[in-house]
Structure 1
Amino acid sequence: MASVKAITDESHFQSELANASTKLVVVDFTATWCGPCLRIAPIFNQLAAKYPRAVFLKVDVDQCQETAAAQGVSAMPTFIFYRNKIKIDRLQGSDPVGLENKIKQFYGTEESEDSEEAVVGHMDLLPFISKSECECLNESDDHPFANCLSSGGGYLESDCDEQLIISISFNQAVKIHSLKITAPVDKGPKAIRIFINQPRTLDFDRADSSTSVQDIEITPEDVGGSIVNLRYVKFQNVQNIQFYVKSNLGGGDVTRINHLVLIGSPISTTNMGDFKRVTGKKGESH
């Protein structure tokens, strides 16, 4: 059963963040003289037991003044959430329901936490995707693009022919390291042209004729969820990314993507988001 660890100093705090790696870290900045802190403390302990894959830390702001100051804590209790040493959200005040809701939001799945291999230093960028600003051309009404942003959420399928244009916008600038695509070997995407930071969604003619940032060819092995590396140096400041799926592996009229994962990291470390561990096969960590 998970328990709450009491932080002794700044070095201890940084060590715990580093050791947690891609796990969610929930930190309670508290004080012994703070009434609301004392009231929520037993609830914080209960949440630590309820969500064992997260790391729960308690920081006494009087004992650890350096840590409290470095994290911008000015009122107690303040709860700050981290993943991969990145501050992803905060909650101020004694609000048990709000606290648990944020833990649920950022907790992740058992599958992602239990996998053995990870792309070191990078995360699933799903929390940074502005879904309302995304667009997919030639998507099926019954199987739209939104389906492929999560596993088990259905799938994306093309409509009139095998081609798709997928336009994904982010709520802040990100670096994109690689992709993971899960799809049937007879319908998964094959030839993909990638564009970034376009003022508007490309049409098919422009996607054919414009200069891309990178062209990739997906293999049947890739659509099993392997890491597909991009030219990382070309994707260092991405506000939006567009994928022109030109053909599929089976050569038929229907392209299908079960799950599309963009792997990378935010340029800023102050934006809020839920980060999921990104997994791959041995030898794919960078």
Structure 2
Amino acid sequence: IQGADINALEQKIQEHIGSGGDETGEDYGQGLMEINTFISKQECECLNESDDHPMNHCLVANGGYLQSDCDEQLILSVTFNQLVKIHSLKFKAPPQLGPKEIKIFINQPRTIDFDQAESMTSVQDLTLDPKDLEKGTPVNLRFVKFQNVQNIQIFVKNNQSGGEVTQLDYLGFIGSPILTTKMNDFKRVTGKKGESH
């Protein structure tokens, strides 16, 4: 965009953020939107993921699914490319294979392991309902606890059927970005020859 064309600017913004809803066209109101676009995929990792069905499959709608490998437990570590507020989580999974008990941690310096996940105090615990998993109904978080999130770690303790394999078709984050200036995005500007600073 060149110049001060307000209409062109608004059109460009709408192009990038859409109407405030997510890929399925849902509108969450209150300035909330699906914030998966702010995930820094190269900084994400998952412990106990299947080689054939890794975590990046469940971070996009209709992108396949995440499946556990050795047993039913998973630790998903998701890093955002800027600070975000997280209002709710959307888990979509087959009712019998989907996660059941979950512990959520935020802003950890590194990915926690399974022993830490069991023993550490979480920011919030959830018990997911099979009907919510089937429909992908958003599960509200204690919003005041998730106001300044750089990374979130989700410990899946078990699944709905108590079986060995946990499957997650989609994990959506609903919230809003905290508008900050990322200094890495700026390039050094040098003046013309002879200009003083």
* 1:266 corresponds to which of 165, 173, 177: 177
Partner of 2:155: 244
Higher relative contact order (CA 8 A, sep 6+): 2
Counterpart CA distance in 2 for 1:189 and 1:154 is 16
Per-residue deviation, residues 5-61 of structure 1 (Å, max 9, x unmatched): xxxxxxxxxxxxxxxxxxxxx99844xxxxxxxxxxxxxxxxxxxxxxxxx935xxx
Match of 1:186 in 2: 96
Instruction: Give the direction of change, closer, same or farther, for the CA distance of 1:110–1:126 in structure 2 (3 Å limit).
Output: closer
Q: Distance in 1 between matches of 2:17 and 2:139?
A: 25
For residue 57 of structure 1, give the secondary structure of its aligned residue in structure 2. Answer: helix
> Where does the alignment leave 5 or more consecutive residues of structure 1 unmatched?
1-25, 31-55, 59-77, 84-102, 272-286
CA 1:111–1:132 in 2, change beyond 3 Å: closer, same or farther?
Answer: closer
Whether the 8 Å CA contact 1:125–1:265 is kept in 2: the answer is yes
Q: TM-score normalized by structure 2?
A: 0.82
- CA deviation after TM superposition for structure 1 residue 119, in Å: 4.0
Per the alignment, do residues 187 and 142 of structure 1 end up closer, same or farther by CA in structure 2, a change over 3 Å counting? same
In structure 2, the partner of 1:222 is 132
Cα distance, 1:268 vs structure 2: 1.1
2:130 partner SS: coil
Q: Which segments of 5 or more consecutive residues in structure 2 lack a partner in the other structure?
A: 183-197
* 1: CA distance, partners of 2:140 / 2:53: 27
Where does residue 60 of structure 2 map in the other structure? 150
Count the aligned residue pairs: 180
CA contact (8 A) 2:85 2:149 kept: yes
C-alpha RMSD of matched pairs (Å)? 2.6
Distance (Å, rounded) in 1 between the aligned partners of 2:119 and 2:50:
25
Residues 22, 33 of structure 2: 8 Å contact kept: no
| Residue in structure 1 matched with residue 12 of structure 2 by the alignment | 81
How has the CA–CA distance of structure 1 residues 127 and 110 changed in structure 2, closer, same or farther, with 3 Å as cutoff?
closer
Identify which of 30, 50, 57 aligns with 2:7. 57
Which secondary structure does the structure 1 equivalent of 2:24 belong to?
helix
Q: Residues 110, 118 of structure 1: CA spacing in aligned structure 2 closer, same or farther, 3 A cutoff?
A: closer
| CA distance, structure 1, for counterparts of residue 115 and residue 41 of structure 2 | 25
Q: Deviations over 1:104-153 (max 9, x none)?
A: x666999633x4x5343111111211100000000000000000011111
